Structure 1
């Protein structure tokens, strides 16, 4: 049985093709809910071990971006926490930025962040910098709910990262970060989906 079939299991029917958007939308929602529940349920022991492995590989992947502007994410609903790896890049001269949802259906805005920045709760109660000019990161470290072997990402369904990457004046490099349990056979990519260049898991 494929990974998609196992995860979809008792959920929505599998799409017949990549053009069956209503079924794909339902399948993505059911798969997303299931993967988030699995991620939240990771044991403390496994989370620590897996996160340590991810952190080592992520640190190596970030090395070429010392001194550059890196966009990352504040962990949410059991996501891998990238703050340690990213904060250490500040010691290498990198600047860091976090996403801000200004309006649904619009691209994200990135604002610079450093430890001690004044934060407010944004959409879904995710902390974000209270103020600051918009910046355009050279690299985006992107959270994953699910992903497939072609680098396509299953996120939270808002399309923010695809919309943001497409709207940037220069396309940033992209690294997706998440746990191996999110690996899927396919997410049934659509024309608006933009594949990530690299994906890092504990494996």
Structure 2
């Protein structure tokens, strides 16, 4: 019997997060650093034009890749960084992050600028995830924060580019896709930038 999509996602989420959690801190650090080598490449520059763009990153939680050095490199390339802040169980906003500015603990275990920072709309979103496939379908952590944020931006006519951030071990053959799910444009892992099949057709 085939499981419903929600249950299939839960199984894949648990499986891939277990693989990610099993990576040693040293391996995660090396893999996170390897991602830096792929941001100044033709493939990454096809994903977006960094000059003047507002880019949302994230402070790592649990065993996520640490993209803080990557965000600093993007800042040097001319982007304006911002970080997601969870306001409640339903909503995240993106606050501008200035170099050296303090960050505070926010909802859902995240870290971001305090309420004095400007709220901005990103042109590019670097999106954490639990699992992904090469069509750009992703499984998040189950709360739907990013899907709602992207839908809100789309409704305002601001369709941000979306690059998933993951370790290679989080790839699966196929993610169950539902109508409300919003696919990624690419996925960045330690092995390189994967331009999704939906972008290649």
TM-score bucket of the superposed structures, by smaller chain = 0.7 to 0.9
* Counterpart selection for 1:201 from 186, 189, 192: 189
* Counterpart selection for 1:171 from 159, 164, 179: 159
Partner of 2:79: 94
Q: What 5-or-longer segments of structure 2 have no aligned partner?
A: 192-201
C-alpha distance after superposition, 1:2-50 (max 9, x if no partner): xxxxxxxxxxx753xxxxxxx3222322322232222122024432332
For normalisation by structure 2, the TM-score amounts to 0.82
Question: How big is the shift at 1:129?
Answer: 1.0
Q: Which structure has the greater CA radius of gyration?
A: 1
Alpha carbons 1:109, 1:134 under 8 Å: kept = yes
Distance in 2 separating the partners of 1:25 and 1:46 = 31
* Counterpart selection for 2:179 from 150, 169, 191: 191
Q: Which runs of 4+ in 1 moved over 6 A?
A: none
Secondary structure in 2 matching 1:184: coil
After the TM superposition, which residues 103-182 of structure 1 pair with which residues of structure 2 at under 5 Å, given as runs? 103-106=88-91, 108-131=92-115, 132-168=117-153, 169=156, 170-182=158-170
Q: What 5-or-longer segments of structure 1 have no aligned partner?
A: 1-12, 16-22
Distance in 2 separating the partners of 1:30 and 1:44 = 24
Question: How big is the shift at 1:171?
Answer: 0.5
> 1:136/1:97 Cα in 2 relative to 1: closer, same or farther (>3 Å)?
same
Partner of 2:9: 28
Alpha carbons 1:66, 1:89 under 8 Å: kept = no
C-alpha distance after superposition, 1:143-180 (max 9, x if no partner): 12100121011110111111111111211111111011
Q: CA RMSD of the aligned region, Å?
A: 1.9
C-alpha distance after superposition, 1:98-157 (max 9, x if no partner): 001112223x21000123322221123221111123201111111121001210111101
Distance in 2 separating the partners of 1:111 and 1:160 = 15
Distance in 1 separating the partners of 2:2 and 2:63 = 26
